[in-house]
Structure 1
Amino acid sequence: MSGNSNVGNSQVYEAGDQRNSKTSELGSDRFHEGVKNSHQGSDPKDDRSLINRAAAERQSSDPPQSEETRQLKQDPTLPAKMHGNEPSRGAKIDAQLQAEDEELLRKKDAKK
């Protein structure tokens, strides 16, 4: 009975169950786990300095636009026409409103 203790049989406890793994085995990838864009720029509890916040704001304020995006802003019916479909009613109304706004702006500029 030398193998028995007051808390149970020694065979119940395996060496791996009661030992902690070494820090060298854990690896250093733990510090690179962060997800991109996980910080919110408007978070008041964020520890970033004002300079870092200003730099991040400058980078995110004006992303470069593709040629398709620029054309879409000029003609809302363009995506449907590119795919060979008839533009939706909403796209037609948007194009009409945009044309009216441009006409009003040209009239205002002519008065000056």
Structure 2
Amino acid sequence: MSGTSSAGTSGVYEAGDQRNVKQSDIQHAERYNEGQRNSHINNDSKDQRSIANKLAAEERRAEPGDDAETAMAKKDPTLPAKMHGNEPSRGAKIDAELARDDEERLRQKGKA
């Protein structure tokens, strides 16, 4: 019956399994890089940062459209899909058409 215990017997445990690390080893251990970028997800509900830290992170956060693909999408909505070898969506095509119409109207108003 001694082999049916869910905890096992003392012979089951290896030498290092139940040992604690010495405090001197912990104090002199090389630490990981603390505070790495993007280690927290801003909209994670289980993130345990304080509200003040979350607000500070939002203030420091860069504009969401800083990457090159987003900048190109603002100029031409169909460009990201074309860059990836796909056909642009219907909405992107409509957005591009509306942008062209707006530019044309602005040119006509500027000349008038």
- Report the TM-score, using the length of structure 1 for normalisation: 0.43
The structure with the largest helix share of the pair is 1
- Report the TM-score, using the length of structure 2 for normalisation: 0.43
